[in-house]
Structure 1
């Protein structure tokens, strides 16, 4: 469940009152004593498309927002984990299924009062026993593509991700050992290989 957005009135570093200051043509809460700037509220989530025997893994949400919706499994990224670690953990926690990321297939970028980023992975099924996490998941299963379309309600973002996973040949894969300078600084780049769905 997302936390409410609380405005910063005092500096979290030194405790002095914040003022509003224009920085790069935007207004931010700013501390004139220690120079702290509150750049905004951000959250990062991950979702995963997992195919096994021509069926995709879906969960039915047990809580708001979207209670009752069928979605791909996923959740929030912890502060000290990579996005790839987060999606593997979330799928294992929610479903009991062990996976391995193949590629990134989509990114939802939703700025607003809180800037919400959501990265969708295509993952390889490795094994595990299907078991719904009781607190977050009310139902669970692997469904064929036509079965997915009949589920109600199927979250639109999940439907789009499932469709994208069937049409893309690779998506974006991590680059290992690439120096973070110049034109080759991207940590994820288009894949030249085909990703299998199972």
Structure 2
């Protein structure tokens, strides 16, 4: 469930009234006491393409937006969660299927009142039993590409499904997690980079 859009009037850290201050040409709420800056409203979602025996995993949305439409499974990333962990959790919760991320294959960028980014993974099917989460999913299953094209399916889902078919080869290109790259954030920070093979 996405968080509501917040319009800060008072500092969420110290409670003092916020002032509008220019940061590189953009006015932003700023606290003169503790230096808090409100940088904007953002949400991060993930979706997953899981193929099994020539069919792809889809869920039918049980609520709006898009109630009744078929989509790849996915959801929102928690604040303290890596995106690869989020997509495996979302797929397991929504469908009962266990899967392993192979590569980032798409990014939808949607600026607006809330800047919404959606990262799509290609995942390897590991097992499990199809079982939908009733609050999220009204139906689910594995479908051939031809069957997908005849469903009321979200165009983003259909597009990434079609694109993912060319990636189902032993050395799939894509944005793969890299190891041995030291970054700020310690063990929680992961770099996804174009590569033919995971390092």
Cα distance in 2 between the residues matched to 1:118 and 1:25: 27
Please tell me whether residue 47 in structure 1 is matched to residue 51 in structure 2. no
Shift of 1:186: 8.0
* Structure 2 counterpart of 1:160: 159
Cα distance in 2 between the residues matched to 1:131 and 1:188: 31
Deviations 1:110-146 (A, max 9, x none): 1111111110000000000001111100000000010
The aligned runs of 1:37-116 (5 Å cut-off) are 37-116=37-116
Cα distance in 2 between the residues matched to 1:36 and 1:66: 37
The aligned runs of 1:1-198 (5 Å cut-off) are 1-152=1-152, 154-168=153-167, 169-180=172-183, 187-193=191-197
Cα distance in 2 between the residues matched to 1:82 and 1:52: 25
Cα distance in 2 between the residues matched to 1:193 and 1:16: 51
The structure 1 segments of at least 4 consecutive aligned residues displaced by more than 2 Å after TM superposition are 1-4, 167-170
Shift of 1:33: 1.4
Shift of 1:24: 1.2
Q: Give the structure-2-normalised TM-score.
A: 0.91
Cα gap change, 1:110 to 1:159, in 2 (>3 Å): same
Shift of 1:56: 0.1
> Contact conserved, 2:56 with 2:142, CA < 8 A, in 1?
yes
Shift of 1:47: 0.1
Shift of 1:4: 3.0
Aligned residue for 1:162, secondary structure, equals: helix
Provide structure 1 residue ranges, at least 5 long, that are not aligned to the other structure: none
> Contact conserved, 2:109 with 2:117, CA < 8 A, in 1?
yes
- Say how many residue pairs are matched: 190
Cα distance in 2 between the residues matched to 1:156 and 1:191: 27
Q: Give the structure-1-normalised TM-score.
A: 0.91
